[in-house]
Structure 1
Amino acid sequence: MDAVDAVVIGAGPNGLVAANLLADAGWDVLVLEATDQPGGAVRTAELTEPGYAHDVFSAFYPLAAASPILTSLGLTAYGLRWRHAPAVLAHVLPDDRCAVLHRRVEDTMASLSAFDAGDGHAWHAQFAAWSRMREPLLAALFTPFPPVRSGLRLARTLGAAEGLRFARMLTMPSATAAEETYGGDGARLLLAGNALHADLGPEQAGGAVFGWLLCMLGQDVGFPVPHGGAGMLSRALVRRLTALGGRLECGREVTAVLTARGRAVGVADASGTRVRARHAVLADVPAPVLYRRLVGPDLLPPRLLADLKRFHWDSATVKIDWALSGPIPWRNPEAAAAGTVHLDNDLAGLTRYSADLATGTVPEQPMLILGQPCRADPSRAPSGGEVAWAYTRVPRTAPLAGDRLRRFADHLQGIVERHAPGFGGRVVGRHIAGPAELQRANPSLVGGAVNGGTAAIHQQLLFRPVPGLGRGDTPIDRLYLASASAHPGGAVHGGPGANAARAALARAGIGGRLYRGVVSALLEAGYAG
């Protein structure tokens, strides 16, 4: 039986971050990945035509660029290079006007002022506030809950009055916050549209903070892409890990976490081979998969099993990738400069789209998030060519497959064509992935859910993945949840992986017995009986 200090299940970005941090501490680490390549939802492949490099899942990374976890790993030394489009984000309205988030705040102000004279100044005021609170806020976001030290720093930075106003914003729907802050459609749509990068519609509580965070990050660090494709971020993490002596084995599916006397002691793979873990098992898989499939109900408290029945996934996803013979022929040239484009609803349309998702209706007028990565990185396509992608949310209760999926993809392509006449004539290849295809390519995207569970306020912070487990710890000693199902949730930033690694290191350290005693008391309080 192979024996290592720690086994990491899954080579997604969180698993790779966790493995790197454990290797930094001198641990012997083995990462086991079920699919044939690392990266999870951060991968690049030729999906359509030779020479066209498509990001298979996620594609642009403001949180990765700002994350103190990822920046501390020094990934530029391992090949990661960020690239930026001339403009960050354009929201194209039904009448082809564009609200554009530029890299220079003055340019963003000018774009938004065209919709309402006061909105440029309101945006500048919000960005100034972001700049003051940026460091303590990011520290609080990417540390285990509750973030005591960074939370106190943030409270001191804001002061009592602004702190209360900020806390109020954390609970607000994006539409309400947008209408309170801005007078015109442009800035309002940037805020509400960015909230929909999660699964939070304009009228849902807690959506404002997601929209605000992505808007401010876009103004601060942009929406960068890795040179050569998203997979270069994963490749840099793997290179760093192996340089430290860590190991990665792909095509090796873990089927069980092995336990003894309430403690994780290793894993078994699909062939029946076992690996002993001297200190920890870290799982970069969705919480329901870890608990129900890899651990099993017999070893878990009844209350946790009951809470897992109430675990809420985010909506499903449909994604299209195109190989193009040239740039998208936008009617409004402002859209051509943006690496990311929102199409094409007004605020009322975004609300109807969200209502369709809530009622299980396949949206007739969905919001598309579209990417033009060659605006930042021409190496993605042959000379003169371009790659593009678009995705939208669909209800989990109305899965799309076969002819229905193809017709829906045609409908989405028609939305692009409406604002870029001649777009279809430039398509030389197309790849469609519905919820089932996404899950086949990455088993962690259960039912096409890309965020590891809803971002709604009832499943965030200490409620993620279930009430009382707002950290990487689990009821099984030395087993840690390192996926987006854990706080601080979805997107590529390494937070869940880093939190799980820190917990494993603390448990194995000099204070490990005391640490486990505190965690056990918390778990008992939440799951007794």
Structure 2
Amino acid sequence: MQIPQRSVDHGRRAIVVGSGPNGLTTAALLARDGWQVDVYERNAHPGGAAASAASLGPGTIVDLGAAGHPFGVASPVFRDLDLTSHGLEWIHAEVPMAHPLPHGEAAILHRDVETTAQGLGVDGGRWRSIHGHVTEHIDEHLENLLGPMLRVPPHPFRLARFGPVAAAPASWVANAAFSTEAARTLFLGSAAHAIVPLTLPFTGAFGMLFGALGMSRGWPVVRGGTGQLVKALLSVLHTHGGRVHLNHEVTNLAELPAADAIVLNLTPAQVLRVTGTTDEAGSQLARPTRRRLRDWRYGTAAYKVDFLLDGPIPWTNPAVAGAGTVHVVGGSQELIRAEADVAAGRLPRYPFVMVCQQHAADPTRATGDAAGKTVVWAYAHVPHGYQETRPGEIARLITNQIERFAPGFQQRVLKQVETSPADLESWNPNLIGGDVAGGAMNGRQALLRPGFTLDPYRVPTPRETATHTARLYLASSSTPPGAGVHGMPGAWAAHAVTKDFTD
């Protein structure tokens, strides 16, 4: 993928709908290429789910959506945009990830394969065998994986090495390759970021890749909150003359001014809405595109709870305190069962809980009035669109899970803020039913996003009309390579726009 490096004013105009990281990445790249770019955002603040606020009180910084960034720090397009020269600073905890186990044990993912393997005892050799080639050639693997799946891979030999484990269910890999609970849970916890049952094909890819990222690039946080990453993207955009219009919800593309290209940082449900597809006679989408987007399925939800504590989490195993991300769910079978339950619409008694301890790397998360306190970011996987049967139901489940491995946690809670799946969708309509991945990552949707198409970033239209003459493009987590704050769907959409107007 080649995006021009130098701005040349060629009179083209692009409109981007939605200011999440993917939309802003598209906007920044096109503005750098000399386009006049306008971004329209429904909220009062840009960034989509990449935002931060003092939601636990003065002096606190809480990531409202994305928190840990294994893909962000490794993102080719963020490196291309040189975001660190625009104020972005990645900072790392002592270790990327930990998984506390019963009886005070813990599995620890370190910043390198060798140290991680040594901590896994008899499973160390298998751990090296599965992850070693990925960590050693991480950039080549990312070039293969952070783009459309239906293409000739830039590094076919690397993909061939990646494929056998990647195509397998994570549950099968964990049980076939490892004999200890530490290795199994460390692998399965990474695989759980697929947010689908771990018995499904291709979940092995998530277990291998997330682990390899942690052992090569780390799982850092952004100093000052994820919102600072958005500020860096905005800085690039503004440097090249781009503009952002806040508090401006686009309900129909016919409302927009004339443009050569319109890029939608939206999931299929919103695309159907803004293109007038409820009235097919006036729809701006081709019939096969309408059908494909209507078939798109949304998946497991996140239920988020942020905590303000009067001190650090009192983990039984002190090594867990140094981890930026903690997977809290017990043993491997408990984790497999929890992910199967939520996919089937059942609330697990012991859900998968992800805890981010940004303070382990970033002391700015609690200062001033909050000095000496600890901000904890957490969410549980719950069924799509889950509604509590009683107030505080999920917060109690999350608290109880943490309490199992950190006795006394509940007594340290000074304040908590709950964000249900409905709250997430109300804040950011792309998070339908609390799905933070832009659509279920199972079946064909794991590879073919959004649906079966060789051209995932272009949105075919049946004809040009008086109200819509722009070419349409899609740049969201519903396109390859999927969810994550890495900007790559936006980069590929910008590439499609640039190619269409220079060929």
TM-score if structure 2 supplies the norm length? 0.91
> How far is the alpha carbon of 1:70 from its aligned partner?
1.1
Asked whether the 8 Å contact 2:199–2:336 carries over to 1, the reply is yes
Asked whether the 8 Å contact 2:252–2:273 carries over to 1, the reply is no
CA deviation map 1:364-410 (0-9, x unaligned)? 1101111110001011002311110111111126x224x72512212
Matched, 1:374 2:391: no
Q: Pick one of 309, 326, 345 that aligns with 1:341.
A: 326
RMSD: 1.8
Q: Gaps (5+ residues) in structure 2?
A: 1-10, 462-469
> How far is the alpha carbon of 1:96 from its aligned partner?
3.1
- The aligned residue for residue 275 of structure 1 is 257
Asked whether the 8 Å contact 1:10–1:31 carries over to 2, the reply is yes
> How far is the alpha carbon of 1:478 from its aligned partner?
1.2
Matches within 5 A, 1:2-151: 5-113=13-121, 117=122, 119-148=123-152, 151=153
Q: Which amino acid aligns with 1:102?
A: H
Matched, 1:352 2:334: no
CA deviation map 1:455-478 (0-9, x unaligned)? 1141133x2111115520111271
- The aligned residue for residue 465 of structure 2 is none
Structure 2: how far apart are the matches of 1:405 and 1:197? Answer: 27
Q: Pick one of 460, 475, 486 that aligns with 1:482.
A: 475
> How far is the alpha carbon of 1:429 from its aligned partner?
1.3
Structure 1 pair 457–220 and aligned structure 2 pair: CA distance change class (3 A)? farther
Structure 1 pair 65–412 and aligned structure 2 pair: CA distance change class (3 A)? same
Asked whether the 8 Å contact 2:268–2:450 carries over to 1, the reply is yes
Q: Which amino acid aligns with 1:471?
A: P
CA deviation map 1:53-75 (0-9, x unaligned)? 10001101010111111111101
Q: Equivalent residue of 2:102, what SS?
A: coil
Q: Which amino acid aligns with 2:474?
A: L
Q: Equivalent residue of 1:390, what SS?
A: strand
Asked whether the 8 Å contact 1:445–1:452 carries over to 2, the reply is yes
- The aligned residue for residue 251 of structure 2 is 255
> How far is the alpha carbon of 1:127 from its aligned partner?
3.4
CA deviation map 1:420-474 (0-9, x unaligned)? 122122212110000011111212111111000011141133x211111552011
Matched, 1:446 2:428: no
Q: Equivalent residue of 2:459, what SS?
A: coil
Q: Pick one of 381, 386, 394 that aligns with 2:382.
A: 394
Matched, 1:232 2:222: no
Structure 1 pair 15–288 and aligned structure 2 pair: CA distance change class (3 A)? same
Structure 2: how far apart are the matches of 1:157 and 1:343? Answer: 32
Structure 2: how far apart are the matches of 1:309 and 1:147? Answer: 24
Asked whether the 8 Å contact 1:342–1:367 carries over to 2, the reply is yes
Asked whether the 8 Å contact 1:80–1:236 carries over to 2, the reply is yes
- The aligned residue for residue 492 of structure 1 is 485
> How far is the alpha carbon of 1:132 from its aligned partner?
4.5
Query: Following TM superposition, where does structure 1 have runs of at least 4 consecutive aligned residues deviating by more than 6 angstroms?
Result: none
Structure 2: how far apart are the matches of 1:131 and 1:437? Answer: 37
TM-score if structure 1 supplies the norm length? 0.87
> How far is the alpha carbon of 1:4 from its aligned partner?
6.7
Matches within 5 A, 1:394-473: 394-396=382-384, 399-401=386-388, 404-461=390-447, 463-473=448-458
Percent of aligned positions with the same letter in both sequences? 37
Q: Which amino acid aligns with 1:390?
A: A
Structure 2: how far apart are the matches of 1:389 and 1:156? Answer: 39
Asked whether the 8 Å contact 1:13–1:42 carries over to 2, the reply is yes
Matched, 1:507 2:500: yes
Matched, 1:290 2:271: yes
Q: Equivalent residue of 2:156, what SS?
A: helix
Q: Equivalent residue of 1:95, what SS?
A: helix
Q: Equivalent residue of 1:57, what SS?
A: coil
CA deviation map 1:15-55 (0-9, x unaligned)? 00000110111101000101110111111001122111100
Q: Which amino acid aligns with 1:13?
A: P
Structure 1 pair 213–344 and aligned structure 2 pair: CA distance change class (3 A)? same
Structure 1 pair 458–4 and aligned structure 2 pair: CA distance change class (3 A)? same
Q: Equivalent residue of 2:120, what SS?
A: helix
Structure 2: how far apart are the matches of 1:201 and 1:86? Answer: 30
Structure 2: how far apart are the matches of 1:120 and 1:157? Answer: 22
Structure 1: how far apart are the matches of 2:398 and 2:27? Answer: 39
Q: Which amino acid aligns with 1:236?
A: A
Q: Which amino acid aligns with 2:312?
A: P
Q: Which amino acid aligns with 2:156?
A: A
Q: Equivalent residue of 1:100, what SS?
A: strand
Structure 2: how far apart are the matches of 1:120 and 1:470? Answer: 42
Structure 1 pair 447–469 and aligned structure 2 pair: CA distance change class (3 A)? farther
> How far is the alpha carbon of 1:145 from its aligned partner?
4.4
Matched, 1:175 2:175: no
Structure 2: how far apart are the matches of 1:378 and 1:425? Answer: 22
Q: Which amino acid aligns with 2:429?
A: P
Structure 1 pair 174–194 and aligned structure 2 pair: CA distance change class (3 A)? same
Q: Equivalent residue of 1:255, what SS?
A: coil
Structure 1: how far apart are the matches of 2:372 and 2:226? Answer: 21
- The aligned residue for residue 349 of structure 2 is 364
Structure 1: how far apart are the matches of 2:41 and 2:303? Answer: 24
The number of residues matched between the two structures is 478
CA deviation map 1:123-174 (0-9, x unaligned)? 22333311444232211223344343xx1x422456xxxx2x6333232100
Q: Pick one of 201, 206, 210 that aligns with 1:205.
A: 201
- The aligned residue for residue 520 of structure 1 is none
Q: Equivalent residue of 1:189, what SS?
A: helix
